Amino acid sequence: MLVLFETAAGYAIFKVIDESKLQEVDSLWKEFETPEKANKVVKLKHFEKFQDTTEALAAATALVEGKIGKSLKKILKKVAATEAHEQLAISDAKLGGVIKEKLNLSCIHSPAVAELMRGIRNQMEGLITGLPPREISAMSLGLAHSLSRYKLKFSPDKVDTMIVQAISLLDDLDKELNNYVMRCREWYGWHFPELGKVVTDNMAYCKTVLKIGERTNVAGSDLSDLLPEEIEGEVKLAAEISMGTEVSEQDINNIKHLCDQVIEITEYRAQLYDYLKNRMMAIAPNLTVMVGELVGARLISHAGSLLNLAKHPASTVQILGAEKALFRALKTRKDTPKYGLIYHASLVGQTTAKNKGKISRMLAAKASLAIRYDALGEDTNAEMGVENRAKLEARLRQLEEKGIRRISGTGKAMAKADKYQHKSEVKMYDPSGDSTIPSTSKKRKFEEVEEAEEPVTPVTQKTKKPKKEPVAEEEAAQMETEETPKKKKKKKEKKEEAVAEEPKEEEQEEEVTEATEKKKKKKKKKVKEEEED
């Protein structure tokens, strides 16, 4: 009798040496206690090893379904060729029936056979020579994983690890690119600093540096394809009068290498972004339609995986990314944030500030449905996402129009908003109103200084029994200073004062002498007090 024994490494055919032992089913286990004893009962006749994991996987799936796989057919044909009269002991009765049909081999399955199988399984390593036990366990592990993945219809398209890694790489590249460009600018700025100030775009800067190399080549080179004309002209001009130092050929070469790197990384970044967009559309089409690729990818990477993201309630999706603000607000019993990463979605971006909160909540609710559909649904199409987005946009329009509906009339008519007209109203600051002490503008000419000082004294004296002489002049001075605040333009003020000053200069000279004695205002006040006393 032959025994068919399936392992993860391959098919094994054993020949039962001593068939009488099979009669005593209960004590059969004794025969398999040690490898030596086992070898006396059964002997390995043939071992068909699986070539690779695909073959093993095919054999395993055939076994699960109870069919004969290719490798099994091969080995059984060999058996049929040599020993067709022998019976074949197998573990699965159904399989036995199929073998009998197809290959005309009589199969048996009985309790004795089951015991036999147990024994063989116990002593698997000892019986199947030429196969180290490590290999069997490694093969069975690999086969189990492939079989499980096959069962779960694992599709490499729907792996969201790619998204998580791609978005992190995108952020990394941006940081690195920025660093490199800054370094390049600083380095080349040693030789030609003006270029950095003239050319603001990073890519254009690097390409320009690559093209011109040494500053002296600028005049001869043609930068029209890299830079717009005016800037090119400015560059050429700056190259003539640059204050940078000379650098050697080797230095320029190294800088050029750096510029090469920058350009390569920028191109790679663009390529990566495309790749990310494709993957997002393949993995989560509904989410992509609703919030966009970048925001969707950030949400997935923040949650860890698409399935994790699907487990979050909509309120969490709304504030994913604002955890610091959220917990701070919760601890201090303040208002929690209204949006997190969702803020950067186009739907939220295009609303007014007042409605951002409402839209963010609505978008989070619908997006959460889309995420769950993508993560757990069977088929992958973007219909649901498109529908939801249309609904949201309609609601958005409603929100914005809610405030401007006509009150009277039909009520349903829409109030017409005024066409936006830019009323250019430039208001100038009026400095005269900020001090009760009548003074002129701050920028005073030499003549004004004297004039400014002298009104101080007359005013104070006016309030407390002024002498008669200064009275008339005080009033005149006061009139003058009252006039000046009314005029807006300071230049005119100065002119008028200057004009008014001159005729009065002679008159005021007396007071000027008084004023010059008391130079600082504080001192003057004290003096006045003394005078009053």
Partner 1 sequence: MRPGFSPRGDRGGRGRGGYGDRGGFGDRGGRGRGGFGDRGGRGGFGDRGGFRGGRGGFRSPEGGFRGRGGGRGTPRGRGGRGGFGAGRKVLVEPHRHEGVFICRGKEDALVTKNMVVGESVYGEKRINVEEGETKIEYRAWNPFRSKLAAAILGGIDQIHIKPGAKIMYLGAASGTTVSHVSDIVGPEGLVYAVEFSHRSGRDLLNVAKKRTNIIPIIEDARHPHKYRMLVGMVDVIFADVAQPDQTRIVALNAHNFLKNNGHFVISIKANCIDSTAAPEAVFASEVKKMSGENMKPQEQLTLEPYERDHAVVVGVYRPTPKQKK
Cβ-defined contacts of 80-89 (< 8 Å, 24+): 80/104, 80/105, 83/2, 86/1, 86/2, 87/1, 87/2, 88/1, 88/2, 88/3, 88/4, 89/1, 89/2, 89/3, 89/4, 89/16, 89/113, 89/116, 89/117
d(CA 343, CA 360): 7
- Specify the amino acid at residue 519: K
Stretch that binds partner 1, among 298-306, 401-409, 417-425, 438-446 (CB under 8 A): 298-306
The H-or-E segment that residue 4 falls in is strand 2-6
Stretch that binds partner 1, among 214-222, 257-265, 353-361, 511-519 (CB under 8 A): 257-265
Reference 40, options 136, 132, 126; nearest CA is 126
CB of 375 to partner 1, least distance (A): 11
Q: How many residues bind partner 1 (CB under 8 A)?
A: 49
Residue 215 DSSP code: G
266 or 355: CB nearest partner 1:
266
9 or 289: CB nearest partner 1:
9
Show the site string, 21-40: x = touches partner 1 by CB under 8 A, - = not: --------x-----------
22 or 143: CB nearest partner 1:
143
CB of 26 to partner 1, least distance (A): 10
d(CA 457, CA 498): 20
Stretch that binds partner 1, among 6-14, 191-199, 207-215, 511-519 (CB under 8 A): 6-14
261 binds partner 1 (CB under 8 A): yes
Strand partners, 146: none
Block residue for tokens 């191109």: 267
11 or 455: CB nearest partner 1:
11
Q: Buried b vs exposed e over 168-188: b needs ≥16 C-beta within 10 Å? A: eebeebeeebeebbeebbebb
Rg (CA), the chain: 46
CB of 358 to partner 1, least distance (A): 26
Identify whether the C-beta of residue 261 lies closer than 8 Å to the C-beta of residue 131. Answer: no
168 binds partner 1 (CB under 8 A): yes
406 binds partner 1 (CB under 8 A): no
151 binds partner 1 (CB under 8 A): yes
The H-or-E segment that residue 110 falls in is none
CB of 175 to partner 1, least distance (A): 9
What is the length of the chain? 533
Tokens of 3: 């025994």
Selected from 308, 352, 381, 516, the binder of partner 1 by CB under 8 A is 308
Stretch that binds partner 1, among 39-47, 211-219, 260-268, 491-499 (CB under 8 A): 260-268
Stretch that binds partner 1, among 144-152, 332-340, 377-385, 501-509 (CB under 8 A): 144-152
Selected from 305, 351, 355, 441, the binder of partner 1 by CB under 8 A is 305
The H-or-E segment that residue 375 falls in is helix 353-376
382 binds partner 1 (CB under 8 A): no
CB of 438 to partner 1, least distance (A): 58
Selected from 208, 288, 301, 388, the binder of partner 1 by CB under 8 A is 301
Show the site string, 87-116: x = touches partner 1 by CB under 8 A, - = not: ----xx---------------------x--
CB of 115 to partner 1, least distance (A): 9
265 or 527: CB nearest partner 1:
265
* CA atoms within 13 Å, Cβ hemisphere of 426: 1
Helices (H), 190-244: 193-198, 202-212, 229-240
195 binds partner 1 (CB under 8 A): no
The H-or-E segment that residue 276 falls in is helix 249-283
CB of 310 to partner 1, least distance (A): 12
The H-or-E segment that residue 447 falls in is helix 446-463
Selected from 100, 327, 445, 505, the binder of partner 1 by CB under 8 A is 327
* CA atoms within 13 Å, Cβ hemisphere of 459: 19
Please work out, in degrees rounded to the nearest 5, the angle formed at the alpha carbon of residue 85 by the alpha carbons of 81 and 89.
95
CB of 242 to partner 1, least distance (A): 28
315 binds partner 1 (CB under 8 A): no
Computed from CA positions of residues 141, 143, 148, 154, in that sequence, does the dihedral angle turn out positive or negative? positive
CB of 118 to partner 1, least distance (A): 7
Largest CA distance in the chain: 152
149 binds partner 1 (CB under 8 A): yes
Tokens of 335: 């208002």
148 binds partner 1 (CB under 8 A): yes
172 binds partner 1 (CB under 8 A): yes
Ordered strands of the 107-108 beta sheet = 42-49, 10-16, 2-6, 88-89, 107-108
264 or 393: CB nearest partner 1:
264
CA distances from 473 to 449, 459, 484, 516 (A): 17, 10, 16, 17
d(CA 94, CA 109): 10
Selected from 20, 52, 81, 152, the binder of partner 1 by CB under 8 A is 152
137 binds partner 1 (CB under 8 A): yes
Show the site string, 53-82: x = touches partner 1 by CB under 8 A, - = not: ------xx--xx------------------
261 or 441: CB nearest partner 1:
261
d(CA 419, CA 394): 23
Binding site for partner 1 (CB under 8 A): 6-8, 29, 59-60, 63-64, 91-92, 114, 117-118, 121-122, 124, 136-137, 140-141, 143-145, 147-149, 151-152, 164-165, 168-169, 172-173, 176, 257, 260-261, 264, 268, 301-305, 307-308, 321, 327
